[in-house]
């Protein structure tokens, strides 16, 4: 019987010690964990003192251990009150004065318990304690600390919700059962009924307390130490196995080799056994941990690996669909969860739903989803009181809902179903989800931005393709219209040139007096008509040439040309006009040796006539027009310089446009109107020769210089010319 009682006490003692120790190690800075550790240690000591008070051989020893039981009971009462007052906060919740008075009152009672005021002695035959006159002090202590603790516990229970309420309810149940049984059997029965028959049952009461609190630890994360339960079982088994094994081994060896005295053999055997323990402890411990992990902790996963994998997915995945599905797959795989879903919100509407583990996408009520989103913290189904929110989670089969927040904005929810094992979500699970949720939210926002850009690019490409197609069609139509225009201009020019030539011829005949003598007024009118007709014929010719150039139908007949002789012919042809205008037209220096060029002489002659004629229009009487030639870098540069009205620099580019009009045009001579196409046509003809045509002027009144280039006739140019014709 004694051995059985001792075994029960030993189990209760070890259970209390491990529970308190692991609670402290989990969070040694928390006042709640510290108080719980001290509370469980005091209960373990209470069990030991109670056992010793029963199995003593003399009355004085029995009385001493009974008084020690009362002393440790005072400590238990005080720690219980402090624990209930502080739970579940991390700092002590008792003000300085109350703390001082509580400790002072207990400190005064502690030495009194070992005097005759509490127990005077024990009955010789029954070993029952004889109460003293100070026993009411012990009753007051129980009323103040135990009664006060239960009162505070009930108040907290009424105000709490969720997992805290469940924890408090279980803690209240365990402590009520333990303390009521202790008060009944170890105090009231002893004082009122004078019997100690039930005192030995004390360890059973504490085991009941340990069992209920352990259930709270395993199933409801009480004091947040559920992850240590597997290690507790493993360590307990390890201690028991090694204690039995080495005790038996030592007993067998001692019975054979060791005498009753402490000989050198005893020391040697003990040393050998210690060495064996050193080398065998770790392998056995690892084996037991592996076995207990499978039995008690099968859903364990490496947090660092999970967070690393999630970070890698978020960093390497751009598309929203790939990101949400890969994150869900990783969470479900590592945490052993049955199903999960991302519900993304935009402008109070469900924007996107990504699910894994469901047979079909769950039907989501936007109003109910928004009610879940409106909560300020993570929602765990087991921790929630009965409400509409909990009913919503029950209907959707959500075990936990984590909010996704990016830059202060709630963008959606991550909802997970139950564990495959059926266990509830641990504090570790919740912490991992809450740590990873902000990063996932930012990654989702980045993916949404990427999707918007991608979709914008697709839309933009479609619009660009459509616009390009429209432009191509418009360009095709414009080319067709331009071709029709060229054909019309060419046809109209041909049709106009013939009757205009006839009109010009008849007017010339009239001016020459072929039809009789004309009056001065008739001669004036006919002369104006002749000039206008001649200008109109030039305009038609220019339009015909431009139409041919732009349509690619103008043929350039290149050959070796003596450019100096060609210029001399043009100057000779235009000399009478220059003399009539009173302008000195100077030819190139005869001493200047200029090589031949590759050109169409008729087209270059047309260019020279246009340039010299243009200078004549803007050069006043007694002015000068000079044509010079130079050769440089395989080209001949032809310059037509005049002392005319000049051109503003900002107007130079307008000279070579169709019908271009410059700011100084009003300075031209009277009756010198042109077609407005001469310079444009000249530039086009020179470019067809592979040369350049440009103009320079210092401004109005400073004269103008026109230049164009032609390639020198050499062996290379001749070969190019032959290749072009071939």
Mean pLDDT of 461-481: 85
Question: What is residue 502's predicted lDDT score, i.e. its pLDDT?
Answer: 79
Question: What is residue 514's predicted lDDT score, i.e. its pLDDT?
Answer: 78
First to last CA, the chain: 129
For residues 246 and 669, what is the distance between their CA atoms, to the nearest angstrom? 132
> C-alpha distances in angstroms, 62 versus 3, 65, 121, 190, 477?
19, 5, 9, 14, 120
| DSSP secondary structure letter of residue 117 | T
Residue 292: pLDDT band with limits 50, 70, 90: low
Residue 265 has pLDDT above 60, yes or no: no
Residue 261: pLDDT band with limits 50, 70, 90: very low
For residues 603 and 557, what is the distance between their CA atoms, to the nearest angstrom? 9
CA 432 distance to own-chain centroid: 19
Contacts of residue 554, Cβ cutoff 8 Å, sequence gap at least 6: 545, 548, 688
- Give the dihedral of Cα atoms 230, 235, 236, 241; nearest 10 deg: 130
Question: What is residue 608's predicted lDDT score, i.e. its pLDDT?
Answer: 93
Mean pLDDT of 248-269: 52
Q: What is the pLDDT of residues 1-14, one digit of tens each?
A: 556 677 777 877 88
Residue 626: pLDDT band with limits 50, 70, 90: very high
Contacts of residue 173, Cβ cutoff 8 Å, sequence gap at least 6: 212
Q: What is the pLDDT of residues 86-133, one digit of tens each?
A: 877 778 888 888 888 999 999 999 999 888 888 888 877 666 788 888
Contacts of residue 478, Cβ cutoff 8 Å, sequence gap at least 6: none
Mean pLDDT of 498-507: 79
Structural domains of the chain, ranges and CATH numbers in brackets? 2-224 (1.20.1070.10), 228-298 (no CATH), 303-449 (3.30.450.40), 555-725 (3.30.565.10)
For residues 295 and 47, what is the distance between their CA atoms, to the nearest angstrom? 30
Neighbours of 280 (CB within 10 A): 13
Higher-confidence residue of 180 and 241: namely 180
Alpha helices in 552-646 (DSSP H): 563-581, 601-618
Show the tokens assigned to 714: 């050499």
Question: What is residue 294's predicted lDDT score, i.e. its pLDDT?
Answer: 54
| Beta carbons of 216 and 170 less than 8 angstroms apart | yes
Question: What is residue 670's predicted lDDT score, i.e. its pLDDT?
Answer: 46
Residue 263: pLDDT band with limits 50, 70, 90: very low
Contacts of residue 445, Cβ cutoff 8 Å, sequence gap at least 6: 406, 407, 411
Residue 627 has pLDDT above 90, yes or no: yes
Beta bridge partner(s), residue 356: 340
Question: What is residue 328's predicted lDDT score, i.e. its pLDDT?
Answer: 92
Higher-confidence residue of 663 and 28: namely 28
SS3 401: strand
Residue 246 has pLDDT above 60, yes or no: no
For residues 522 and 541, what is the distance between their CA atoms, to the nearest angstrom? 28
Residue 462 has pLDDT above 80, yes or no: yes
Question: What is residue 635's predicted lDDT score, i.e. its pLDDT?
Answer: 93
Q: Which residue has the tokens 């109070």?
A: 348
> C-alpha distances in angstroms, 52 versus 59, 73, 397?
12, 15, 54
Percent of the chain's residues with pLDDT above 90? 15
Question: What is residue 262's predicted lDDT score, i.e. its pLDDT?
Answer: 44
Residue 358 has pLDDT above 50, yes or no: yes
Burial label, 481 (beta-carbon count in 10 A; 0-12, 13-18, 19+): exposed
| Pair type for strands 340-346 and 349-356 | antiparallel
This prediction has a pTM of 0.42
Mean pLDDT of 682-699: 90
Q: What is the pLDDT of residues 542-596, one digit of tens each?
A: 777 777 777 677 778 899 999 999 999 999 999 988 998 899 998 877 767 889 9
Higher-confidence residue of 431 and 126: namely 431
Sign of CA dihedral 657, 660, 662, 666: positive
For residues 569 and 545, what is the distance between their CA atoms, to the nearest angstrom? 22
Question: What is residue 75's predicted lDDT score, i.e. its pLDDT?
Answer: 92
Question: What is residue 270's predicted lDDT score, i.e. its pLDDT?
Answer: 53
Question: What is residue 652's predicted lDDT score, i.e. its pLDDT?
Answer: 83
Question: What is residue 381's predicted lDDT score, i.e. its pLDDT?
Answer: 85
Show the tokens assigned to 315: 């960093």
For residues 170 and 156, what is the distance between their CA atoms, to the nearest angstrom? 13
Residue 446 has pLDDT above 70, yes or no: yes
| Beta carbons of 209 and 178 less than 8 angstroms apart | yes
Higher-confidence residue of 613 and 284: namely 613
Residue 475 has pLDDT above 50, yes or no: yes
**DSSP characters for 366-383?**
HHHHHHHHT-SS-EEGGG
> Measured over all CA atoms, what is the biggest interatomic distance in the chain, rounded to whole angstroms?
181
Question: What is residue 360's predicted lDDT score, i.e. its pLDDT?
Answer: 76
| Pair type for strands 624-632 and 584-586 | parallel
Contacts of residue 186, Cβ cutoff 8 Å, sequence gap at least 6: 50, 69, 198, 199, 202
Contacts of residue 42, Cβ cutoff 8 Å, sequence gap at least 6: 72, 75, 76, 79
Nearest to 76 by CA among 48, 27, 36: 36
Length of the chain: 726
SS3 121: strand
Residue 721 has pLDDT above 50, yes or no: no
Q: What is the pLDDT of residues 193-204, one digit of tens each?
A: 666 666 667 777
Question: What is residue 400's predicted lDDT score, i.e. its pLDDT?
Answer: 92
Question: What is residue 414's predicted lDDT score, i.e. its pLDDT?
Answer: 93
Question: What is residue 273's predicted lDDT score, i.e. its pLDDT?
Answer: 59
| Beta carbons of 121 and 131 less than 8 angstroms apart | no
Residue 219: pLDDT band with limits 50, 70, 90: low
Q: What is the pLDDT of residues 481-492, one digit of tens each?
A: 777 766 666 666
Nearest to 186 by CA among 80, 64, 46, 283: 46
Residue 726: pLDDT band with limits 50, 70, 90: very low
């Amino acid at each position: 019987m004694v051995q059985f009682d001792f075994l029960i006490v030993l189990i209760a003692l070890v259970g209390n010690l491990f529970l308190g120790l692991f609670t402290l190690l989990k969070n040694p800075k928390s006042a709640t964990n510290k108080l719980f550790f001290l509370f469980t240690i005091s209960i373990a000591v209470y069990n030991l003192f109670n056992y010793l008070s029963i199995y003593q051989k003399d009355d004085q020893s029995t009385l001493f251990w009974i008084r020690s039981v009362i002393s440790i009971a005072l400590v238990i009462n005080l720690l219980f009150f402090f624990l209930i007052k502080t739970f579940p906060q991390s700092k002590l919740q008792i003000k300085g004065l109350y703390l001082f008075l509580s400790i002072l009152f207990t400190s005064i009672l502690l030495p009194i318990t070992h005097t005759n005021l509490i127990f005077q002695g024990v009955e010789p035959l029954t070993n029952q304690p004889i109460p003293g006159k100070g026993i009411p002090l012990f009753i007051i202590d129980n009323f103040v600390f135990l009664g006060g603790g239960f009162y505070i516990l009930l108040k907290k229970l009424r105000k709490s919700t969720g997992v805290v309420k469940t924890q408090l309810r279980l803690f209240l149940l365990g402590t009520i059962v333990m303390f009521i049984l202790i008060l009944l059997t170890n105090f009231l029965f002893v004082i009122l009924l004078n019997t100690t028959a039930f005192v030995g049952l004390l360890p059973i009461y504490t085991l009941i307390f340990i069992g209920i609190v352990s259930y709270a630890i395993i199933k409801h994360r009480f004091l947040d130490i559920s992850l240590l339960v597997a290690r507790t079982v493993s360590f307990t088994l390890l201690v028991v196995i090694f204690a039995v094994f080495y005790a038996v081994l030592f007993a067998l060896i001692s019975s054979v080799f060791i005498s009753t005295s402490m000989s050198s053999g005893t020391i040697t055997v003990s040393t050998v056994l210690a060495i064996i323990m050193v080398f065998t402890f770790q392998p056995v411990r690892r084996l037991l941990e592996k076995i207990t992990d499978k039995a008690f902790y099968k859903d364990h996963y490496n947090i660092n690996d999970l967070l690393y994998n999630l970070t890698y997915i978020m960093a390497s995945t751009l598309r929203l669909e790939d990101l949400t599905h890969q994150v869900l797959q990783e969470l479900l795989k590592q945490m052993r969860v049955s199903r999960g879903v991302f519900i993304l919100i935009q402008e109070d509407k469900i924007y996107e739903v990504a699910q894994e583990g469901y047979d079909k996408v769950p039907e989501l009520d936007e109003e109910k989803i928004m009610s879940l989103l409106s909560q300020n913290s993570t929602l765990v189904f087991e921790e929630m009181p009965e409400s509409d929110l909990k009913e919503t989670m029950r209907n959707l089969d959500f075990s936990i809902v984590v909010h996704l927040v990016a830059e202060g904005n709630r963008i959606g929810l991550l909802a997970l179903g139950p564990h495959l094992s059926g266990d509830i979500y641990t504090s570790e699970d919740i912490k991992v989800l809450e740590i990873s949720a902000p990063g996932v939210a930012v990654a989702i926002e980045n993916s949404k931005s990427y999707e918007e850009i991608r979709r914008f690019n697709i839309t933009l490409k479609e619009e660009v393709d459509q616009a390009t197609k429209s432009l191509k069609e418009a360009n095709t139509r414009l080319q067709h219209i331009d071709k029709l225009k060229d054909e019309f201009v060419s046809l109209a020019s041909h049709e106009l040139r013939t009757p205009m030539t006839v009109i010009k011829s008849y007017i010339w005949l009239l001016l020459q007096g072929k039809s009789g003598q004309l009056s001065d007024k008739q001669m004036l009118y006919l002369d104006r008509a002749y000039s206008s007709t001649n200008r109109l014929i030039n305009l038609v010719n220019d339009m015909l040439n431009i139409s041919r150039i732009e349509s690619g139908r103008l043929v350039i007949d290149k050959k070796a040309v003596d450019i100096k002789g060609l210029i001399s012919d043009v100057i000779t042809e235009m000399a009478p006009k220059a003399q009539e205008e009173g302008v000195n037209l100077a030819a190139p220096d005869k001493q200047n040796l200029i090589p031949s060029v590759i050109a169409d002489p008729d087209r270059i002659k047309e260019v020279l006539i246009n340039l010299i004629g243009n200078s004549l229009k803007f050069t006043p009487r007694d002015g000068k027009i000079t044509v010079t030639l130079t050769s440089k870098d395989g080209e001949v540069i032809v310059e037509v310089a005049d002392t005319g009205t000049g051109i503003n620099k900002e107007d130079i580019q307008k000279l070579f446009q169709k019908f271009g009009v410059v700011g100084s045009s009003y300075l031209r001579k009277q009756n010198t109107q042109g077609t407005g196409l001469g310079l444009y046509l000249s530039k086009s003809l020179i470019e067809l020769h592979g040369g350049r045509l440009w103009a320079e002027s210092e401004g109005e009144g400073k004269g103008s210089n026109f230049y164009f280039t032609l390639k020198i006739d050499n062996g290379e140019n001749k070969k190019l010319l032959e290749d072009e014709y071939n």
